[in-house]
Every structure is written in C-alpha cells, then in structure tokens.
Chains A and B, each alone.
Chain A
Amino acid sequence: MILDEAGWTALRLSLLVGVTATLVALPLAIWIAWLLARREFWGKSALNALVHLPLVLPPVVTGYLLLLTFGRNGTVGRFLEDTLGLVFAFRWTGAALAAGVMGFPLMVRAIRLAIEAVDPKIEDAARTLGAPGWAVFGSITLPLILPGVLAGAVMGFAKAIGEFGATITFVANIPGETQTLPSAIYALLQVPGGEDAAIRLVIWACIIALGAVALSEWLARRVARRIAGA
C-alpha cells in the first residue's frame, strides 16, 4: 500500500489528469449529447461517427493522430501555443487531452441516453409557461438527466485514469510530467524487481476505480430520490 516517491507522483498525476479531463470534457459532452438527442442538422451522422471514433480506433492510432494535430508541429498545436501559450506535446496537459478524448464517447453515450429518456413534452410545457430555451435546459432537462451525467462523468473519469495507449503515443512516458498510473505500472514491469512496486500501484488503481463507482452510485441514488420526490 505504501508508495515510494515515484509511485506517489504517478498517482497524483493520474488524479490530476483524470479530474481535469473529466471536468473539461463534461460540458462539451453534455452539449454534444443534447445536439445528438434533440436536434436535427446537416452532418449529424458525421458528428456522431467522429465522437465515437476514439472508441473504435486502436488507441495508438488516436494517440498518433493527436500528436499530428496537437503536437508542436501540428496545425492546431502550433496555433494554440501561439495564441494561448497552451502546449500539449510531452506535457501533463497532453495526457489530460488524450484521456479526455478517449473518455469522451463514453460520456456522450451515457448523457445522450439520459436526455432521450426525458419527455420533450415536459420541456414544451416549460416553454409555454414562459421559460426561454436555455432556462428550460437548466431548470428542467439538466436536473432530470443528472443521474446520467454523473454516470457519464464516472465512466469518463475511469477511462481517463486507465488510459494508456493514446497517452504513451502522444506524450510518451516522462516521470513527473506524463507518467500516469498505467504508464508507471508498465515501466515498472519492464525492469527486473519492479513487480513489488507495480503491485502497490495496481492496488491503488483498484481503490480509485471502486471509489469512483461507489461515489457515483451514492450521488445517483440521492438525485433519483430527489427527482422521485420520496
């Protein structure tokens, strides 16, 4: 259970990467899920396919595509560095980006299902009472889909914590900068006598994963009780 300095660093970095990826991706995932569930527009199928791409592509391919686009020589990467000073390549921010991209389809799927379960007639009723569109979303849709949003967030977080292939391809395996739990475990298993430290990290990975699931269950039950009004 007790981790050495390198282990703690990997654990802290994983949590930072996981939380950042989830929090940044969540609002975008809610918006995309709402578009896919409630709106008809040109290119909807293409958007749907694009969102699901990281789920079906080999993670290494996703990581390489991220490197091509968001790397220092990538068009988007260079643009973001010039305008916002935001660098992804071989930084923890890149690990968070890779984790967020990989978890994104899981979030969108869970939230989209929740939105589709909300009767649009309830939203119509709110509009006839004088609520503009954004207020209807905030006061009716969002509270009703909260369990789905929580489920999506936990799935995204778990994926972010466990993400390996795309991360190591995009930002490599630099201790203290991009070496998350899975990368650290992988690195330890490559050297003789590393099993012991690897097992400790494995236990921590299990604790985080189970803790996240338990927390989301607890929150979802509370929300469901409030919605059902019991």
Chain B
Amino acid sequence: MSLSVSIRHRFGDFDLDVAFDAGPGVTALFGRSGAGKTTIVNAVAGLLQPDHAQITLDGTRFDTLPVHKRRVGYVFQDARLFPHMTVADNLDYASRYGARASDRPRIIEMLGIGALLDRHPATLSGGEKQRVALGRALLSNPRLLLMDEPLAALDGPRKAEILPYLDRLKAETGVPILYVSHAVDEVARLADHMVLLAGGRVARAGPLFDVMADPAAVPLLGVREAGAVLRGRVVEHDEDGLSTLQLAAGTIQLLGVQAPVGAEVRLRVLAQDVLLSLTEPQGLSAQNILPVTIRSIRAGDGPGAAIALDAGGDALLARVTGRAVQSLGLVEGQQLFAVIKATSVAQSAISGGAT
C-alpha cells in the first residue's frame, strides 16, 4: 500500500502546501502546533475540503470520495465516543458499516477492552476511552488509520498504558497508519517514516532513522529533543541491572531494558547526551564507547553544532558547541570516539519492535 498526499490550502494567514508519500507501517506527521498536521489528516479523512488536493491510495484517487466512503479509521485526540451508546454499541456501530465483525473478538482482546463492553463512555478513564476509540476505528475495516495525537490528552501513566497497545496494533494489523504527534518520544518509538512539518511546508521527510539522524532536523525537533534512533539487539541482562545491547558499531550497556534477550529494540540517543573524544578514552566512568566517523557538521543558529556520525553503518547524532568543533579541529571523514552514558538513555527511549 502507498498513500500519496498533495494538499494546498489557505485560510486566514495560514498557508499549507505539502506533498509527501507514506509507505506501509507508521508514518509520523511531526511538527509544532500550527504546522498544519491536523489540517492534513482532516483533508485525508475528508472532514476538510482543501483548496486543492490530490490524494491517492494504492494509485486510486481518494479525495473525490465522500467521507463515509473513504474507509479511513480516524482516532481523534478526544476519543469522540458516542455518549448515548455503550462501549459494545460503539464498536458495533463501526462494524455495521465496516463489516468486520469476525475480527471483533481479536480486536477486543488485543486492546484489552473486553471488561468494558457494557459501560458507557462517561464512566471510562481517558486511557480506556482511547483504547475503545482505537478498537472502533479498527472495526470499521479501514484501508488507512489516521491518528491525531491520540495520546496528547493523557497524562504520563495513561500514555504508558496505551503505548504497548499501539505497538501491538502496528505489529498485528498491517493497516498503514498516519500518526500525528508533537512528542518526539512517541514518534521515535512507533514511526517507520517521518514527515517533519514547519509553517505549512514539509521540511524533511524520509525513513525515521534517517530523519532523526539528520543534523538539519535538529532545529525542527528542538535541540533538547533531537537525537538519532538506533536499532539494537538485547544480548544479556546482568544482575546489577545493566543490560548489554548489540549495535552495529559494537556493544553498549544500558539500564532498565525491559525487552527479553534476543529482542530487537529501538534506542533513542539524545544528541546532547553524546560526548566526542579524539582518542579512545581511558579511566572514564561512562563505559559505552563507540568508534565513529564524522559524516557531516552543521553549525546551528546559536553556539551549538550538530554532528552526524557513522557508527558502523548506524547513524548517530551529537550536539557540541561550535567552540569544541574548532578546538578539536573536527572535520568530515574524521575518525573518533563517541561516549554514551548508561544512565542518560531513559527507559522510555528503549522500545521493542525495531523493524
């Protein structure tokens, strides 16, 4: 499946002009508020009629269809369950038109909403509502799932409650997902492709691992949030709480890895947590030292510089001061060592499903 989106829309001062393709898996639309994310998904769903649109799904024109014939499952930020119906009725409403009642037990089981079926939406917690909304969207037998910041209205624990369900959904359903978010950690965990939006334009688009490791993306993601996403495999868990992960460039030790031995995981390493050393450091408390090669150096608008590194084929991103670039004499192609502190990679930045 492939979704191709081209939209031009203007209202008031806001001018949206975007074109991008989304392959199978999860495509994240990322950007600050007002970047045009919701406008794009609403146009794909048909809830908004843009000035100009050409949207195709698997080569067939999509934007000329009325909303109810597009078969997009839309999960809104506010769950939008029907208040006068029970959870079961909400789900049945979707399968009435989607004709996917045979999948009902499997979807209910996957989302863990079996115990909620007789309840009314008003009695559900935010996380429960969002799980029901996910189930309802899936039961409409969608060709495409749209998710507009489905976790933004939830607090930390509720978010943590939903994320594993999103992982399962991605792994089990195979329905392509357009996922709107302004939270980098969600995107880093879930997305396969990433479209970075700024001011109604596509600033960067491509595979998640490439975009996250792109120095040019640093100002768009925010200097504190920028950082490459790496693929690794869990080699062993030690008794002292440290786990060993195999990366392309070598092994590193991290704290709090939940995935079982042998599992493929994703690892988000913030650019500001990566130190650079010209020689292999000795007598350092940080144990994770990877040999790297500088791919490119991009001076920021401020005193910082973003440095793209090649770590045995994986991309890594480091953020240092411009003065450090000068004093170390960093140039493209230079070989040096990257140091990552074991405690700097948050537990939430390590997740399963590295494909």
- On A, residues with C-beta under 8 Å from B are 119, 121-122, 124-133, 139-140, 143-144, 226-230
Does the CB pair A128–B73 fall under 8 Å? yes
CB contact list, B54-96 vs A, under 8 A: 66-74, 76, 78, 80, 82-84, 86, 93-94, 96
Does the CB pair A131–B74 fall under 8 Å? no
Known contacts: A130-B71, A229-B83, A229-B120. The answer to whether A124 contacts B47 by CB under 8 A is: yes
Does the CB pair B98–A129 fall under 8 Å? yes
Partner of B78, one of A121, A128, A133, A227: A121
Does the CB pair A125–B76 fall under 8 Å? yes
Does the CB pair B82–A126 fall under 8 Å? yes
A219 to B177, CA, bound (A): 44
A124 to B78, CA, bound (A): 12
A144 to B119, CA, bound (A): 18
Q: Give the interface SS of chain A, mostly helix, strand, loop or mixed.
A: helix
B67: chain A residues within 8 A (beta carbon): 124, 127-128
Interface size of B by Cβ–Cβ distance < 8 Å? 33
- A-B contact list, 24 entries, CB within 8 Å: A119-B80, A121-B76, A121-B78, A121-B80, A122-B80, A122-B82, A124-B47, A124-B67, A125-B80, A126-B93, A128-B45, A128-B46, A129-B136, A129-B137, A129-B140, A130-B68, A130-B71, A131-B68, A132-B68, A144-B84, A226-B84, A228-B83, A229-B120, A229-B122
- On B, residues with C-beta under 8 Å from A are 45-47, 66-74, 76, 78, 80, 82-84, 86, 93-94, 96-98, 119-123, 136-137, 140, 146
Does the CB pair B82–A140 fall under 8 Å? yes
A227 to B86, CA, bound (A): 10
A131 to B80, CA, bound (A): 15
> Distance (Å) between the CB of B177 and the closest chain A CB?
14
Does the CB pair B74–A125 fall under 8 Å? yes
B122: chain A residues within 8 A (beta carbon): 228-229
Closest residue of A by beta carbon distance from B48: A124
A119 to B121, CA, bound (A): 15
Of residues A121, A124, A130, A133, which shows the largest number of chain B Cβ atoms within 10 Å of its Cβ? A130
Of residues A129, A132, A140, which shows the largest number of chain B Cβ atoms within 10 Å of its Cβ? A129
A132 to B96, CA, bound (A): 12
B76: chain A residues within 8 A (beta carbon): 121, 125
